[in-house]
Structure 1
C-alpha cells in the first residue's frame, strides 16, 4: 500500500482530529475527503479548522461533500477555505480505482 484515502465522517472532535493528524503525518501519498458531520466540525471548531487549513495547504484535503452542506452555513465557510464542494461518491470511488486504500474516521 503506497496510497491512502482518509475519509473523515465523524463530527466528534477527538475522532476527526485523530484522522486529520494521521493524514498530516503519513509518509505515503495521502488524500483526505470530508464527508458528513466532519464538514460542520471544521467550520465551527478552531482546532479542527486550523488542522484542516494545514491539510489544505499541503494538498491533502481538496474535497468535501456538497450534498451534506448545501444551503447550510458550512457551505460558504468551506468555500472560503478553498475546499471544492461536490458529491463525493464518485471521487471516493475514483480514488479507490486509482489504488488508494480507504480508512475512515
Structure 2
C-alpha cells in the first residue's frame, strides 16, 4: 500500500496555514486553507531596479480545481488576484501565484 500524506493535517490553521476565501469569476465562493509566502524580490532590468515581493499560496490541488487567472483570494484580510493556473507539484499540492489588488501592496 503506497504512503499517503494527510494534507489536511499539514494545512492546520494553528500551525502554518491560513483560512482563505477563494472567489471564482463565475461568482462561486469557496473556503480553502493554504500556506502563504511573500518572499522579497529585487529585480533589475538594465539600470532600473524593482523592489517587490512574489506572493504565493500553497494548498491542496483539489481545493484549487477550477481556479483561473484573475480569480481572487482573500488571505488574512488582504485581497489578491490569482496570476496563473494552479501549479501542481505531483504530491497533491499546488501553488497559486498572486498579485496584491490595487492599493494593497506588499507589507
TM-score band (shorter)?
Answer: under 0.3
- Taking structure 2 as the reference length, the TM-score comes to 0.26
Q: Larger helix proportion, structure 1 or 2?
A: 1
- Taking structure 1 as the reference length, the TM-score comes to 0.26
Q: Larger strand proportion, structure 1 or 2?
A: 2
Bigger Rg over Cα: 2
